[in-house]
Amino acid sequence: MKDSANGLKHNDGLVTSPTSSPAAIIQTESAVKPSLRKRKPISLPLEVGTRVLCRWRDGKLHPVKVIERRKLSTGPDDYQYYVHYNEFNRRLDEWANLEQLELESVEADADEKVEDKAGGLKMTRHQKRKIEETHAEEGHEDFDAASLREHEEFTKVKNISKIELGKYEIETWYFSPFPPEYSDCNKLFFCEFCLSFMKRKEQLARHMRKCVLKHPPGDEIYRQGSLSMFEVDGKKNKIYGQNLCYLAKLFLDHKTLYYDVDLFLFYILCECDERGCHMVGYFSKEKHSEEGYNLACILTLPPYQRKGYGKFLIAFSYELSKKEAKVGTPERPLSDLGLLSYRGYWTRILLDILKKHRGNVSIKELSDMTAIKTEDVISTLQSLDLIQYRKGQHVICADPKLLERHLKAAGRGGLEVDASKLIWTPYKEQGG
């Protein structure tokens, strides 16, 4: 075939001019097919920082970066590599064996990208969304650049891979600073009632024969059907509070681990049956928050996620604020995922009131009715285009059709808190 613009002939993918020499043809072929270039020999073990393709649990190759490596006892040259999958959140980082790595994809040049080599292995939009929904990204807005680098360096390698809690074996997501004597453990065994943790299954079995607890060591303040909520005072139950923090940190990347649990109250949500009350999640709050925070940390354990428990915990924190006759807000800054959860809760609550309310209602009245801080009310209504700023004040514009459209988009609110089942005295009234 001939290119009329420049007189070049195309021959089986090679580009030649009518007068080109064999040497020119070879040179041009090299430029068109970089895969024929002589590769640098791959030396093992791979260096930390190497970029390569790795076969993940879906059976497909994904671009990774080697974060760390460790020597195995099976041979002098046998290593495992701790890898970060570029497409996924850090919680999916893991130890990979050499046979999982596509050594031919190791980057030879600084400008050569492993991601490009995975071109034919790209996930569909549906596959990627499914992974991202299960392993949603946590933010680090509470770190400055230097602190974030220090945090990621210190926590780059997940120290505990799995835990056993009750009837579940759970893969962990992040590093947690367990005491040094547990640094060589791949798996920990937790008592699901007192949260003591052990290295071996036999130790747990012995412990369970002696442990008298069948629920968290605090006061049951709520019961509805098979759900119960327990309030645990960190000062009265220090070991339980610290163990809960160790456990939670395995699934929370961006939170600081507080060793001084005396200042916190922990609210443990449980599913109850004839064997006892099994923790599904929790939130914590400071006993006295100068900033008006009604929640410090929140977690739903992985086996219980996507069942509405996270929304329930958020709603419960506001029911406590109502009992205290205060407005509340979660501790800042929120991660992207945290903001999404809260914005969903605020949206459903405010829209429901606006739909049922007759006559005008002010921002202050909405805040008093819901215990949601005025700033959160305003930001939520602004995001829905339901508020305008006129003559120095905010005016709510609640068009019924727009409300109905937003309510439909907001979806279901999940499990509801029955305030009549809450038996609770605020901490300040306990004389504490």
The pLDDT, as a whole number, for residue 138 is: 42
Q: Give, in degrees to the nearest 5, the angle at Cα 422 between 416 and 424.
A: 145
The pLDDT, as a whole number, for residue 133 is: 41
E strand or H helix at 276: strand 276-286
Cα 413 to Cα 89, 94, 420: the distances in Å are 27, 35, 19
Neighbours of 223 (CB within 10 A): 16
Phi-psi region of 392 (alpha: psi -120 to 50; beta: other; left: phi over 0): left
How many residues are given for the chain?
432
The pLDDT, as a whole number, for residue 153 is: 56
The pLDDT, as a whole number, for residue 348 is: 95
The pLDDT, as a whole number, for residue 155 is: 60
First to last CA, the chain: 89
**Nearest partner of 222 among 428, 4, 420, 412, judged by Cα:** 420
The pLDDT, as a whole number, for residue 35 is: 46
**What is the C-alpha separation between 75 and 299, in angstroms, rounded?**
41
The residues carrying an active-site annotation are 331
**Nearest partner of 309 among 300, 318, 297, judged by Cα:** 300
The burial class, CB within 10 Å (0-12 / 13-18 / 19+), for 187 is middle
pTM (2 decimals)? 0.73
Cβ-Cβ contacts under 8 Å for 196 (sequence gap 6 or more):
190, 207, 211, 239, 243
Cis ω before 302 (30° cut-off from 0): no
Cβ-Cβ contacts under 8 Å for 389 (sequence gap 6 or more):
395
pLDDT tens column, 331-390:
988 777 788 889 999 999 999 999 988 888 899 999 999 999 999 999 999 999 998 877
**What is the C-alpha separation between 174 and 197, in angstroms, rounded?**
17
| Mean pLDDT, 10 residues at a time, the chain of 432 residues | 42 38 38 49 88 93 92 86 88 89 76 48 46 41 51 68 97 92 92 97 97 97 98 97 95 71 96 97 95 95 94 97 96 81 94 88 95 96 87 80 88 88 84 49
Token pair of 158 as six digits: 């997940």
**Nearest partner of 49 among 106, 105, 129, 104, judged by Cα:** 106
